[in-house]
Chain A
Amino acid sequence: MERYNDSCGSFRKLPVTLALSVGLCFSAQATSQDSFPSKDLTYMNPFSPGGEIDVTARQQQPLLEEYFDRNVSITYRTGGGGAVGWSHLKDQPADGYTIGGFSLPHIIAQPMVRDPGYATDDLKLAYIFHSTPQVLVVREDSPVENLDDFIELARNNPASVTIGGTGEATGNHLGAVRLMREADINLTWIPFPGTGPTIPALEGGHVSALMTNSTAAYQNRDKFRALAVAWDERLPFMENVPTFQEQGYDVVEAIYRGVLVPADTPDDVVETLAAGFDTVNQEIEGKQTDMGAFVHFWGPEESAQLVERLKDEYSVLLEDL
């Protein structure tokens, strides 16, 4: 009959270990109320590696570590267009040590069209660092030369002109919906699982046009002709592309990206985070613009205002869907 090679001495050590751990817990509590951040930060990316948030986060990470003098580790929690990540984040301790990347309109639109496991109000935005305004693009060799041509084509062929982009009730989709409303045309929206697959889809002629992010439009400017930008002014890196508004259609839509924390996080912690991201954002502004993103420096108050405004707009737009 074999016996385990255990040492009975470990039992005597138990009370001491217990006392020590209890003591440590109390002291950990004490330190976390000192200046934030007093331990390492977790930067959660609800989207997959290689995307805009990932690239930006990696640009930010070393600078954030320098600013906060703490480690910042990037983790992924993907699925459901970000919903899995945000529904997980809202349950995390509201102490500011777990921050998540986010995109607008996702965090507003998703709870409106289905139950994604979180509510918009469960999340508090700390900072918005960039946006990618929507751009309508067609292939470089397309007979459609400008926005008016495109709208005419759509009017003559209802439901036959296909426009592709990512997902449903996402920035891409809502941009297309706005266009359809403003121009009173009937386009067929073709959702793709990500920005990646949309590029060969347009280039191969499987869709007629894309409503895509400024980053993708800028990176593919050799192959694609941008017809209009859904922003209130022309983008600095795409000066020659007119806006929708210039051409008579009030279509403004962008995907805003930033970081958020659970809603109950104390305001001073949020302010500290925002200050850090602000500093970092100024340093990476050039790299962001090189990617084709439009840089913002919006802190918690401005972000919250944007959310409120968009909530009203989207509840109208999404009724149609």
Chain B
Amino acid sequence: MDVLLAGLGNVLSVEALLLVALGTVIGLFVGCVPGLTATMSLALLVPFTFTMDPLSGLVMLGGVYTASMYGGAFSAILINTPGTPGAIATMLDGYPLARRGEGERAIVGATLASVFGGVIGFLALLLLAPVLTIAALKFGPPEYFWVAMLGLALIAALSQGMMLKGLMGGAIGMLLGTIGISPVGGESRFLFGTPALQGGVELIVALIGLFAVPEYIRMIGNARRSITTRQDGAALPFARVVKEVIRQPFNLFRSAGIGTIVGIIPGAGNNVAGLLAYSEAQRASKQPEEYGHGSMEGLCASESSNNAAVCGSMVPLLTLGVPGSPPAAVLFGALMMHGLTPGTRLFTENGALTYGFIFSLGLAALALLPVGIYGGRLILRMMANVPVGFLVPTIGLMTLLGAYSMRNSMVDVFLMVGVGLFGFVLRELGVNPATIALGLILGPIAEQGFSQAMLMGRAYDVPALALVQSPLSIALACMVLFSISLPSLRRAKRWLATRSQGE
């Protein structure tokens, strides 16, 4: 207990608070530029932390990580491009809001939801880490497979009325995800003669292509920016948005819960958390048709979840010594370099440091509030007032730079442009690029889980039985089935209702 208080004391110093603030600002910038990832910025900042003591270094890095997950919402809302993959679901509803002049409402809502999610995640990390660790260990290859399938079920939800096109988009995305080296077998697939593609299609490159490029073309086509601002020019009543967000306690808690749990799963992590929470929120919503057209519920679900996942990914790092996401892997390296071995020993031997770090994650979540509210408004105002002639080439430039800087590769740049122009055409034809993105993210996770489970299944007569051996995998499989059949069930229910009315 006193270790806990010692940790809290350490982190309430001026130095620590300043570092949290610094980390938050850096993280926000990194998050809102698609192409700058939390992983890379953490990797670059780690050497700077050598000169600091371990706690200060970790505090700053934690701030960067937290804020970058939130910063992704800005570009998601303003230019329909997720700044981080975790913000894909935010984009689905944030951008429509911005288009009809409610950008500020979206940004404030996203901020509040992120703060909420971050705080819940922090509390879960602080109080429930051992329990969560046990839960994390239950996820093996079959469970990964089902979690990925659960996310893929979102494709069906996104394609209401255009099921075939949505499914086709998902298949295209999954096909793109097979490019590279096969997880089991180690053979190269679909390299098209380019060794650089052995690393596969980099997700951010594809996201920039699928979303930023069409936005760029749309702005050029209209010779206008896509987002509008309120005609009367008055500032949005902050209190109104706060009330709006507070009126969704179930949504927020559930999404934060999903985020924390999904964040724990090493490998699935931050990208998937927002998607799953969004999908669940839609399922539970009283107005599911709103989703994809500017639903604050969906927006808040996504943001709450992806920030909770930040703390979630810390659980396996701190308790098991296993990073739950690529940014957590960098933090792992940072801990190693300071001579600390992540794992339970961290709590016993360096308790004050560990708890200090955990508390700093909570502070970082809170720090999002002022930075987001003011910074967000500032960015929104800039986006709304800068001449289009300047905005358009800037976006073009950022897409090229972002795609290039992922792997220092011009191949990625051409890939991005190709995917972008292609994605634009498909969007016009009615194929939602978000389905392609989902296939790309979730396909590899599903394949890996599936292939590994098949290997584990060699012990059985029917290898596929390995997919439903544990209670958790059976539960997840049922959730997937339910998720897929829900639209048809709903339609059947409605049809039955109208029939009985007619009699």
Contacts and interface: CB of A to CB of B under 8 A. Distances in A.
Interface string A286-307: 0100110000000000000000
B199 interface: yes
Interface stretch (A4-12, A197-205, A228-236, A243-251): A197-205
Contacts of B407: 76-79, 84
A203 B40 CA distance: 29
Interface of B, secondary structure class, is: helix
B195 interface: yes
Interface stretch (A127-135, A162-170, A253-261): A162-170
Given A54-B333, A116-B195, A79 B200 contact: yes
A193 B183 CA distance: 7
Interface in A187-235: 188-193, 196-197, 199-201, 203-207, 219-220, 222
Given A49-B39, A81-B186, 9 more contacts: A58-B333, A83-B198, A117-B195, A118-B195, A162-B455, A190-B456, A204-B137, A219-B341, A219-B343
18 contacts: A49-B40, A49-B46, A51-B333, A55-B333, A58-B333, A76-B407, A81-B198, A87-B196, A114-B181, A114-B186, A118-B195, A168-B186, A190-B452, A196-B322, A200-B266, A204-B136, A206-B141, A290-B339
Nearest to B138: A204
**7 tightest A-B contacts by CB?**
A79-B199, A117-B195, A80-B198, A168-B186, A206-B140, A50-B329, A204-B137
A157 interface: yes
Interface string A164-194: 0001110000000000000000001111110
A6 to B, nearest CB: 17
B82 to A, nearest CB: 21
A291 B199 contact: no
A142 B408 CA distance: 46
A61 B48 CA distance: 13
Contacts of A116: 188, 195, 198
A287 to B, nearest CB: 8
Interface in B404-455: 407-409, 448, 452, 455
Contacts of B347: none
Nearest to A167: B186
A75 interface: yes
Interface in A62-119: 62, 75-81, 83-84, 87-88, 113-118
B455 A188 contact: yes
Most buried by A among B50, B198, B329, B339: B198
Contacts of A51: 329, 333
B337 interface: yes
B456 A206 contact: yes
Contacts of A200: 136-137, 139, 266, 316, 320, 322
B387 interface: no
Contacts of B359: none
Nearest to A292: B341
A49 B455 contact: no
A240 interface: no
A76 B326 CA distance: 14
Nearest to A83: B198
B458 A188 contact: yes
Contact of A88 (B42, B187, B196, B200): B196
